[in-house]
Amino acid sequence: MSNSGDLIRRRERAVCSGVSRMSDLTVSSAQGAELTDLDRRPILDFAGGIGVMNVGHCDEEVVRAIREQAGELLHASIHVATYEPYVALCEKLIELFPHGDRTKAMLVNTGAEAIENAIKIARQATGRAGVICFTGAFHGRTLMALTMTSKVSYKIGCGPFAPEVYRLPYPLVRQHRGDREQEVAERELSRLRAALNDTVETGNVAAIILELVQGEGGFNVAPKAYVRGLREICDEHGIVLIIDEVQTGFGRTGRWAAYEHYGVTPDLSTWAKSMGGGLPISAVVGKAEIMDRASPGTLGGTYGGNPVACAAALATIRRMETLGLNASAERAGARIRERFDTIASRVPEVTDVRGLGAMMALEFSQQGDASRPAPSLVKNIISTCLDRGLVVIPAGVDGNVIRILAPLVISESDLDRGLDILEASITTHTTQPAHAGSEG
Ligand SMILES: Cc1ncc(COP(=O)(O)O)c(C=O)c1O
């Protein structure tokens, strides 16, 4: 048996099945935009460990910073003793993401934890309980985050969920329906205003939480007019606007923050994934007057802002600045969009090309009918890509989207090579008569 096959067997025996496994891919090491599996097979990485590796795998300076910090201080707990890397990282986040006049930050370990803490801050700051979230949202797998997460298959049997969470339709713009951004924005803002009359009173809404480009939800991009309207409604009613930048942040969309595309500043924002260059670290950044309303002891945790993870994040951010990763994302995004548009023009099953910056996706539907999602087709394409040396992952509530989250340090030639593999795999599964029928 191959080394990979052996490890997968061991995993099946030892690791419970609730921890999902997208494929039989194994990995023993990684560099830049390439993984090496347990049988020494190189695999081009278009997944980035689910959007974590914007700075690339095992960046030399990030690894050096981790090694140096590990020799100095592995753990203290910020609640027990103050250490420099925690404070320095908060200072850096405040500099990158000013939320009005005075900004403050706090650190935890995962995206879900950042979300949990942001909600706790919003509730304490407003003295209100209600939270409005959206269809297609993904905010993580802890109780409050999972409650706000939309896709039902992530939630099976996990209830009861947290109370006082209200869900509205995400402002989806779909070309095949002839949707116009402005009209979608106006319709969904009216719906929100109506919900504040017929679903939850404004005096009970602490926060509205939104991904500007939905990650797990399938790279749906919120219209600018909607987000501006949301900001106005929040201001009018004293509601805290939380933008979840966990997947969009740190260069993925061609800006440090996706909200920079919108000309809107949130009250609170949440960060994780690519911030740590591969180590688990996350943050809530926000207006100081809101952040400071949380009582001492209500936020954080034993490991939050671990010194080694902080050193990794500081080195990662420095590297992103030096390498100019936002510009790289714009370049890569333009290239991916061009290739995707070409694919869409000749493959009827591709019913949408969407995204922002390098956060790009293709949507697949049966026989080009966008009301009939094609998750099996997506699975087949992804599996063929893997056979040909490319890892790419799905998205979307219906699982019918292929999303690109390649490290932003990927070379132009590797990006093109990966796109060639993806295109050829799409062709394999969409032009052969055996696959022309409906999903089975
Ligand atoms: C937008 C968004 N928020 C929150 C999370 C949760 O992050 P984590 O898996 O680190 O808890 C994710 C993870 O995919 C995400 O994409």
Q: Which of 213, 247, 274 to mutate to test the pocket of ligand 1 (most atoms within 8 A of CB)?
A: 247
Which residue type does 97 have? F
CB atoms within 10 A of CB 262: 21
Q: In this structure, what token pair is assigned to residue 122?
A: 């919003």
DSSP 287-325: EHHHHTTSPTTSS--TTTT-HHHHHHHHHHHHHHHHHTH
- What is residue 408's predicted lDDT score, i.e. its pLDDT? 98
- Interatomic CA distance for residues 361 and 220, integer angstroms: 9
Q: What is the mean pLDDT of residues 47-73?
A: 98
- Report residue 439's pLDDT band, with 50, 70 and 90 as the boundaries: low
**Which residues contact ligand 1 via a Cβ below 6 A?**
50, 110-112, 115, 138-140, 211, 215-216, 244, 246-247, 272
- Interatomic CA distance for residues 394 and 168, integer angstroms: 24
Q: Residue for token digits 């009582």?
A: 295
- Interatomic CA distance for residues 356 and 363, integer angstroms: 15
Which atom of ligand 1 approaches the CA of 50 most closely? 14
Cα of 431 vs centre of ligand 1, distance in Å, is 35
- The proportion of the chain whose per-residue pLDDT surpasses 70, expressed as a percent, equals 98
Sheet with 359-364, strands from edge to edge, namely 350-356, 359-364, 401-404, 393-395
User: Can you name the residues that pair with 44 across neighbouring β-strands?
Assistant: 34, 390
Which atom of ligand 1 approaches the CA of 215 most closely? 16
Cα of 64 vs centre of ligand 1, distance in Å, is 27
Q: In this structure, what token pair is assigned to residue 370?
A: 């966008």
Q: In this structure, what token pair is assigned to residue 296?
A: 């001492």
pLDDT digits (tens, 9 = 90+) for 160-201: 999 999 999 999 999 888 999 999 999 999 999 999 999 999
For 183-217, b/e burial (b = at least 16 CB within 10 A) is: ebbbebbeebeebbeeebebeebbbbbbbbbbbbb
pLDDT digits (tens, 9 = 90+) for 192-227: 999 999 999 999 999 999 999 999 999 999 999 999
Could you tell me which of 419, 421, 422 has the C-alpha nearest to residue 410? 419
pLDDT digits (tens, 9 = 90+) for 385-435: 999 999 999 999 999 999 999 999 999 999 999 999 999 999 999 975 444
Q: Do domains 3-58+324-435 and 62-322 have the same CATH topology?
A: no
Q: Is the pLDDT of residue 440 over 80?
A: no
The secondary element (H helix, E strand) that includes residue 190 is helix 181-198
Cα of 171 vs centre of ligand 1, distance in Å, is 20
Contact 152, 165 (CB under 8 A): no
DSSP E strands, 114-164: 130-134
Q: What is the mean pLDDT of residues 281-304?
A: 98
Fold of 3-58+324-435: Aspartate Aminotransferase, domain 1 (3.90.1150)
Supply φ then ψ for residue 427, to 5 degrees.
-60, -45
Q: In this structure, what token pair is assigned to residue 60?
A: 């030399």
Contact 391, 422 (CB under 8 A): no
Contact 383, 344 (CB under 8 A): no
Average pLDDT of the chain, as a whole number: 97
Fold of 62-322: Aspartate Aminotransferase; domain 2 (3.40.640)
Q: Largest alpha-carbon pair distance within the chain? A: 66
pLDDT digits (tens, 9 = 90+) for 310-354: 999 999 999 999 999 999 999 999 999 999 999 999 999 999 999
pLDDT digits (tens, 9 = 90+) for 149-161: 999 999 999 999 9
Q: Is the pLDDT of residue 437 over 50?
A: no
Contact 363, 396 (CB under 8 A): yes
434: which DSSP letter? G
Cα of 433 vs centre of ligand 1, distance in Å, is 39
Q: Where in the chain are the domains?
A: 3-58+324-435, 62-322
Query: Omega before 160 cis (within 30°)?
Result: yes
Cα of 216 vs centre of ligand 1, distance in Å, is 8
Q: How far is CA 217 from the centre of its chain?
A: 9
- Interatomic CA distance for residues 11 and 24, integer angstroms: 10
pLDDT digits (tens, 9 = 90+) for 363-393: 999 999 999 999 999 999 999 999 999 999 9
Q: What is the mean pLDDT of residues 290-294?
A: 98
| SS3 (DSSP) at 253 | coil
